[in-house]
Chain A
Amino acid sequence: MAEGEKRNLENVADIEKEYSEVSGGVAGQDENKYYHNANNVEEKSENGKPEINIKGVLQNAEEQIFSEFISANSDIEAKSKSELTGDALAKYEEFLKSERVGEIYSETDEKIKGINKSRNYNLKDLGERIDELRTAVDQKLESTNKDIEEIEKSTQEEIARLKAEKEKEISAKEAEINALDSNDPEYSEKLAQLNKEKATLSNELSELSKDIAENSEYKKLLDGNSKYVDLLKDKEKLQEIRKNIGPSREERQTLAEQEGKKESEVDYGLSKDLRKSLSNQKDLREKAQEKAKEIFGEDRVKDDFGINQEEKDKKDKDKEGENLEENAPEQEQQGQTKAQAGQIDPKTLAAIQQAMKNAGVTPQQAGANVVGEQVAGEQVEAPEPTGMDYLSSLGYNGGDVLNAKSSIALLSAFVSVGDKNKIAILSDDQAKSVIFEAMKQANSRKTPLTAIKFNKTRRELIKMANGPMMRKALESVGKDVDYNNLEDVNKQFNNVMRDYDYIRQQKENEIAKLPDGEEKDRLQAELAEYDKKYSAMKGVKDFRNITNKDLARFRDKVVDKVSSIFDRNKVDRLNPPSAKEMEAQDSRNNMYNRTRTVIEQNKEKNEFQARNQSAVNSPEVADESEKQRAEAEKIEEKQKIQQADEIAKKGAAQRVANEQKEVGE
């Protein structure tokens, strides 16, 4: 079906087709479903499914690159990229810049674009079909209710008719009674009989005259009406289906307003599943790009990797105004400006250095150059890394953007300092604002700060942080899980929480039944102990259900905490360092820079020699080396002579002094 064309659901043949094409997941029979191949040409695949998913495409690309690299470098022995080190790694990184990798990049890009296009089409199609089905169900419910009402109305009319008939019968019976001859020897018997019959008729009339709700005759008629019974069953089924489909957009808005909640909080059923899938699909764009950067190198991956033009337009539109419920952007962050390169002042750098130290980040972890080396015969101890060293090691190169990795690392360092049991889970903009605020506090002159590009979603941060939190909580209730497998951890967590909720409810029900007294107190104490045992688990569950409003409050607390990190004497956060402290800092920096320079020079020299070993062994170079060696020997000889002269002079002076002494004596 072409986009925009309405699906015909009235025609039984179309409906049967719709049903058969999707039942059992055999989607290939649907001529309207397209799966796009690598060249973005619409075509049907054999079974209607793409062969591999985005993860698979990227994995294949990564393996292909590695395999081609190894083929071209037979001297390198490694089974995977992670085994490459030193020169081999450097060569690999060079290879990533090659044209061949560029080709693989383009192919991968096209395949992922194809998968995304297909998925987006299907998601959109499913959305439309769900809306259409919801409408069809509503219409069917309406017509069913009407039919039910009509039968009920006609049954009531039937009851009225029966009632009128009954009244007639009673009147006729009364007439019969009145007509009896009192002289008839069977008068009494006949009278009794007629009265009995009249009483029966009166009872029946009385039953027929009851309200519909209590009228057994009415109920009997309805229960005996097979069409009515079927309609009730239909109604029940339709209501169930309607519930499972979930609310429409308008219904969500209304419900949310009525209950004072967000739309996502009142969503349920199939529509919720679809919205989740839409949201996940949206997140995948960025995830795939991040993964691609690891595989192809950061420089190669463009903003539109894996994203088709219409998606890109939509994405730009989303950025402008749409408020995705899970990631409420902070409006006040939009005014931040980018800094000029290198404009991070010493105090901020010192603050970062302190934060890293407090976080227990060793210089080695930060990748700083910490090994003391021999320089001109002296052992030079490398000073501790500066704030700039830490930033550099995290990928900050003086440019105007901290990338996602360095932002997260910084953030982790900041928030792990205060309370190791709490992890701040923030939206992208909230995380930005935390770092921004913290750095601002460290910089009393409010120098323009670096803009931080932080493109992980709140959901991913929650997932990452929930890993360690969940593990701790599960440990606290003695659960044994595979902690390397977060899916297993999640599954165990959900199982335990489900059991806990169920058992808790049972205990509460038991307590509610009891009158006040010893037994009730005992059970309540037991329940309190039970809750205490599962408090860590419950804490994690509450944390996962945290609303953005709560997060904003928590974020403010985190900002305060992080700001206090930059207060070096923990008294007044706005105190600038003293002149002496700054001098000491500069002196360390200078020493470090001088050491670095010499170390770098030696390193370059060694590398040059290693690369040009054959040249070193050539006759011309050999001559040159010989010259230098000869000169060095001369200098050494000269030094020895000088030293000997000095010793001789000292010795002579001593002899003279001794002689004079002897003379004196």
Chain B
Amino acid sequence: MTVDEIEAQFNALQSEVKEIKEEIESDAHLDFINSLKQYVNKY
């Protein structure tokens, strides 16, 4: 495998990792725990 091919693979992986990371983080938004926060803020 050439270095260019390795680099291309790395770039591809990088963008894929970024994609899935963002996808999962979009679900990890604080909306999920807002109701819980309300209980904490209440006190």
Contacts and interface: CB of A to CB of B under 8 A. Distances in A.
Interface in A120-174: 122-123, 126, 129-130, 133, 136-137, 140, 144
Given A55-B27, A238-B3, A486-B30, A22 B42 contact: no
Interface residues of A, number: 64
Contacts of A413: 43
Contacts of B14: 244, 270
Interface string B2-34: 010111111111111111110111111111110
Interface string A225-247: 00000000010011001001100
Contacts of A122: 16, 20
A123 B21 CA distance: 9
Contact of A287 (B7, B10, B28): B28
A126 B17 contact: yes
A283 B30 CA distance: 13
A464 B36 contact: yes
A19 B12 contact: yes
B17 A270 contact: yes
Contact of A119 (B24, B42, B43): B24
Contact of A126 (B11, B20, B25, B40): B20
Interface in A288-330: 288, 290-291, 294
Given A19-B12, A129-B13, A276 B3 contact: no
B18 A55 contact: no
A79 to B, nearest CB: 18
Contacts of B15: 22-23, 25
11 contacts: A16-B5, A18-B12, A19-B8, A19-B9, A22-B13, A23-B12, A130-B17, A277-B24, A281-B24, A287-B32, A408-B36
Interface of B: 1, 3, 5-21, 23-33, 35-37, 39-40, 42-43
Given A55-B31, A288-B27, 4 more contacts: A245-B10, A273-B17, A277-B21, A280-B24
Interface of A: 9-10, 12, 15-16, 18-19, 21-23, 25, 27, 53-55, 119, 122-123, 126, 129-130, 133, 136-137, 140, 144, 234, 237-238, 241, 244-245, 270, 273-274, 276-277, 280-281, 283-284, 287-288, 290-291, 294, 359-361, 365, 404-405, 408-409, 412-413, 416, 456, 460, 463-464, 467, 486-487
